[in-house]
A and B are shown apart, each in its own frame.
Chain A
Amino acid sequence: MSTDTTTPATPDDVVAIFRRVLQREDVAPDSDFFQLGGDSLIATRVLSAVARAHGVELTFDEFLLAPTPDGLAQRITAAR
């Protein structure tokens, strides 16, 4: 996966990351990562995937404030 610093993050990008990390398909743009069984440990996989794909290094605390694909995509775009 290459670092892409020009295309904004879409909720669908983050939905795909959630599906891969949580290994479940029932992820919607407004699904809460922690309600889907996510925890601080595998949140690191989401943050690593975001750093690789979008060149943005978010923290766990930022993720806690925006734990949905919609919210996280906004954070990624705002941080670029």
Chain B
Amino acid sequence: MSNSRGTLQVAPDLSDVFSEIARRYPRRPAIVQQGHALSYGRLHELANALATRLGDDPGTVAVPAAHSPETVVALLGVLAAGGAYCPVDPAFPAPRQEAMTTAAGSRTAVATGTPLAPQLGLGSVELPAPSELLGAPPGTLPARRAGTGPERPAYILFTSGSTGQPKSVVTPRRAVSAAVHSLRELFGLTPDDRVLQFASLNWDTCFEEILPALTTGATLVLDPDAHRGSFPRFLRMVERERITVLDLPTAFWHELVLHLAEDRLTLPGCVRLLVIGGEAAAPARLADWSALDTGRIRLVNTYGCTETTLITHAVDLSGPGAPGRSWDGTTRAPIGRALPHVVEHISEQGELMIGGPAVALGYLGLPEATAARFVTVDGERRFRTGDRVRRAPDGVLTHEGRLDGEVKVRGIRVDPAEVEAHLTAHPDVTAAAVTAATLAGRSALVAYVVPRPHATTAALGAELLAHLRERVPGHLVPSRVTVVPRLVFTPSGKVDRAGCHRRYATPHDQVGGDLR
């Protein structure tokens, strides 16, 4: 077993760092959306006013997650009160919202412009309207609230679970504070930076954008053109809003590079840092990126699990931080070296294990699942990532595959068993196998289902897609459902998910070809 130990200092609590920055830069813009700026002073007031309304130690607080300043105010307010932020996408099917708030043990929701499903039965706390507090002094909260200790939960997020129910990861304040401290350094943020808020507010990637920026004095920029699906609009928005830092899912960056390469474009001159993460960076897209006029932009690849808090590993792939690196379209991109707050171990099987302050508290209400992944070795608590890695002499890791059946689809970890559980819950299905495949050059979920005898199979695929869309979020709905006579099994009698795909995939799935 090998390991590397960073310098482990206790980072100051995130809420305290934000308050200090807000007092230092009260007039600087903290959040900008379509020309409207919310200053650090006002953001601090609003967050503290919400914290006061929530009361001391409010427990887990459900927040409707939308790309709006209100969601960011709610996040900071919940943290200031010592509560655990639990984002819920109001667009998720109501049963999923209910499963999430139940699993998270939430009793309270923050009421914003986009309400959660009414049947959740949560107590509601109104977000203060900006006009209510105009000119009010930033509220003073008691210095030590019960919920703000380093081991108290900061947020609760969901990962895919094999039973079909969401599995909630509880992340303590010391983990977020330590990770955000490292990320400010990694990104080299200054108060002059303008960081685009791109990631969905449901996933921890959004904290990589929001928290380092708002604990530096930088500006967080929200803009609907970030999510409209049109790259010309996206690029004009980046230029108009003078964005300096972009943090994009690797799958989206792949599409952006295809677009830039087709039109021989580069990113607007204001962009100095582009952070990617979520899945392996495609060697062909890296070569495309290198061939464009991108030499002044730091391209940073990142790696991390929800259970180890935001980012644990990073490396400059291209630009001023990676002199001499070149990409010829065949070399795999490394996932990076451990950030200063991360303790890294690699088991004899090559599994990456993470220790130190980044490790989450566990899965809420699931002691067995927690014990399986959070282990204690030599008196230290470590998370088993399930990722096989190889470490180069300079400490940079390369990903070599998974040790379990989990797959990553467009940056989101999915346990195929969860999707299979929902498929086999349908009365016309006896068995299902789900796996990730590369369809049209991007990762996608595919499902193979065996119908019940005498079931009408003509429209079963479409029927199952509709069945799933009513019950689970979009990332758990396969791109394709294929009805097959039987699944493929391994010699030991287990369902061979990859084997099903190899046997039943249509011939043109196998064709690579030009993606443009």
What mask results when residues 470 to 513 of chain B are scored 1 for a CB within 8 Å of chain A, else 0? Answer: 00000000011000000000000000000000000010110101
Which residues in B have their C-beta under 8 angstroms from that of A44? 229-231, 255, 259
Which residues in A have their C-beta under 8 angstroms from that of B228? 59-61
Chain B: which residue is nearest A40 at the CB level? Answer: B229
Q: Which stretch in B4-12, B67-75, B94-102, B436-444 binds the other chain?
A: B436-444
Chain A: which residue is nearest B229 at the CB level? Answer: A60
Chain B: which residue is nearest A48 at the CB level? Answer: B259
A-B interface pairs (CB < 8 A), number? 74
Among residues 36 to 50 in chain A, which have CB atoms less than 8 Å away from a CB atom of chain B?
37-45, 47-48
Q: Which stretch in A5-13, A17-25, A66-74 binds the other chain?
A: A17-25
Check A58 for interface membership: any CB of B closer than 8 A: yes
Check B107 for interface membership: any CB of A closer than 8 A: no
B444 near A39 with CB under 8 A, answer: yes
Cα distance A43–B465 in the bound complex, in angstroms: 19
Which residues in A have their C-beta under 8 angstroms from that of B465? 35
Which residues in B have their C-beta under 8 angstroms from that of A57? 230, 232-233
Which residues in A have their C-beta under 8 angstroms from that of B227? 60
Cα distance A59–B258 in the bound complex, in angstroms: 18
The majority secondary structure among interface residues of chain A is: helix
B231 near A48 with CB under 8 A, answer: yes
Among residues 380 to 412 in chain B, which have CB atoms less than 8 Å away from a CB atom of chain A?
410
Using known A-B contacts A48-B262, A60-B227, A60-B228, determine if residue A41 contacts B508 with beta carbons closer than 8 Å: no
- Distance in Å: Cβ of B83 to nearest Cβ of chain A: 32
B233 near A23 with CB under 8 A, answer: no
Chain B: which residue is nearest A63 at the CB level? Answer: B229
Chain B count of residues within 8 A CB distance of the other chain: 31
A42 near B442 with CB under 8 A, answer: yes
Interface residues, chain A, CB within 8 Å of chain B?
A: 20-25, 35, 37-45, 47-48, 51-52, 57-61, 63
Cα distance A17–B177 in the bound complex, in angstroms: 47
Check B462 for interface membership: any CB of A closer than 8 A: yes
- Distance in Å: Cβ of A51 to nearest Cβ of chain B: 6
22 intermolecular pairs with C-beta atoms under 8 Å apart = A22-B440, A23-B441, A23-B508, A23-B509, A23-B511, A25-B508, A37-B444, A39-B479, A41-B252, A41-B410, A42-B442, A44-B230, A44-B255, A48-B231, A51-B230, A51-B231, A52-B262, A52-B263, A57-B230, A59-B228, A61-B229, A63-B229
Chain A: which residue is nearest B259 at the CB level? Answer: A48
Check B251 for interface membership: any CB of A closer than 8 A: yes
> With contacts A23-B439, A39-B479, A42-B440 known, what are 8 further pairs, Cβ within 8 A?
A23-B513, A25-B508, A35-B465, A37-B439, A37-B444, A42-B442, A57-B233, A61-B228
Q: Which of A23, A57, A60 has the most CB of B within 10 A?
A: A23
- Distance in Å: Cβ of B325 to nearest Cβ of chain A: 27
Cα distance A41–B227 in the bound complex, in angstroms: 11
Which residues in B have their C-beta under 8 angstroms from that of A47? 229-231
A21 near B229 with CB under 8 A, answer: no
B232 near A21 with CB under 8 A, answer: no
Cα distance A1–B515 in the bound complex, in angstroms: 15
Chain B: which residue is nearest A22 at the CB level? Answer: B440
Cα distance A41–B279 in the bound complex, in angstroms: 14
Chain B: which residue is nearest A21 at the CB level? Answer: B440
Cα distance A50–B470 in the bound complex, in angstroms: 31
A41 near B230 with CB under 8 A, answer: no
Which residues in B have their C-beta under 8 angstroms from that of A63? 229
Chain B: which residue is nearest A39 at the CB level? Answer: B479
A42 near B255 with CB under 8 A, answer: yes
Chain A: which residue is nearest B475 at the CB level? Answer: A39
- Distance in Å: Cβ of B264 to nearest Cβ of chain A: 12
- Distance in Å: Cβ of A74 to nearest Cβ of chain B: 18
Which residues in A have their C-beta under 8 angstroms from that of B441? 23, 42
Which residues in B have their C-beta under 8 angstroms from that of A40? 229
B233 near A59 with CB under 8 A, answer: yes
Cα distance A26–B509 in the bound complex, in angstroms: 13
- Distance in Å: Cβ of B435 to nearest Cβ of chain A: 15
Chain B: which residue is nearest A24 at the CB level? Answer: B508
Chain A: which residue is nearest B252 at the CB level? Answer: A41
Which residues in A have their C-beta under 8 angstroms from that of B262? 48, 52
Please list the 3 inter-chain residue pairs (A to B) with the smallest Cβ-Cβ separation, ordered nearest first: A60-B229, A59-B228, A37-B479
Which residues in A have their C-beta under 8 angstroms from that of B259? 44, 48
Among residues 301 to 348 in chain B, which have CB atoms less than 8 Å away from a CB atom of chain A?
none
Q: Could you say which of B232, B439, B444, B462 contacts A51, with CB atoms under 8 Å apart?
A: B232
Q: Which of A21, A42, A43 has the most CB of B within 10 A?
A: A42
Cα distance A37–B447 in the bound complex, in angstroms: 12
What mask results when residues 215 to 228 of chain B are scored 1 for a CB within 8 Å of chain A, else 0? Answer: 00000000000011
What mask results when residues 232 to 263 of chain B are scored 1 for a CB within 8 Å of chain A, else 0? Answer: 11000000000000000001100100110011
- Distance in Å: Cβ of B228 to nearest Cβ of chain A: 4
- Distance in Å: Cβ of B463 to nearest Cβ of chain A: 12
Q: Could you say which of B251, B462, B480 contacts A41, with CB atoms under 8 Å apart?
A: B251
Cα distance A43–B229 in the bound complex, in angstroms: 7
Cα distance A57–B231 in the bound complex, in angstroms: 9
Cα distance A25–B263 in the bound complex, in angstroms: 26
Cα distance A59–B232 in the bound complex, in angstroms: 10
- Distance in Å: Cβ of B16 to nearest Cβ of chain A: 38
- Distance in Å: Cβ of A49 to nearest Cβ of chain B: 8
